[in-house]
């Protein structure tokens, strides 16, 4: 019902590994006892670490490393 309140929206699928911060916040929201929360700072050091990893592209680097051919010695 929230999406109906906006004039223009765009919804795109991103695998949870691609945005681990959103995945963590969604999981935390599922167990929360309140309906709505405004965060003015990250709620945990774990989320701070995930934010940093997202900023520096750790997931992108991991994907790139997994697609590179293995070198035989």
Decide: pTM greater than 0.75: no
Per-residue pLDDT averaged across 23-41, rounded?
84
Give the closest residue to 59 by CA, choosing from 20, 12, 14, 22: 20
- Report the mean per-residue pLDDT for the chain: 75
Report the percentage of the chain scoring pLDDT > 90: 0
C-alpha count within 13 angstroms, C-beta hemisphere, residue 25: 15
46 pLDDT more than 50: yes
Cα–Cα distance for residue pair 68/17, rounded to 1 Å = 19
Per-residue pLDDT averaged across 42-63, rounded?
72
């Amino acid at each position: 019902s929230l999406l109906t309140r906006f004039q223009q929206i765009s919804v795109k699928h991103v695998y949870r590994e691609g945005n681990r911060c959103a995945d963590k916040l969604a999981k935390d929201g599922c167990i929360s006892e309140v309906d709505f929360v405004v965060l003015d700072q990250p709620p945990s050091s774990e989320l701070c670490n995930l934010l940093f990893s997202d900023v520096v592209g750790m997931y992108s680097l991991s994907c790139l490393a997994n697609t590179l051919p293995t070198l035989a010695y």
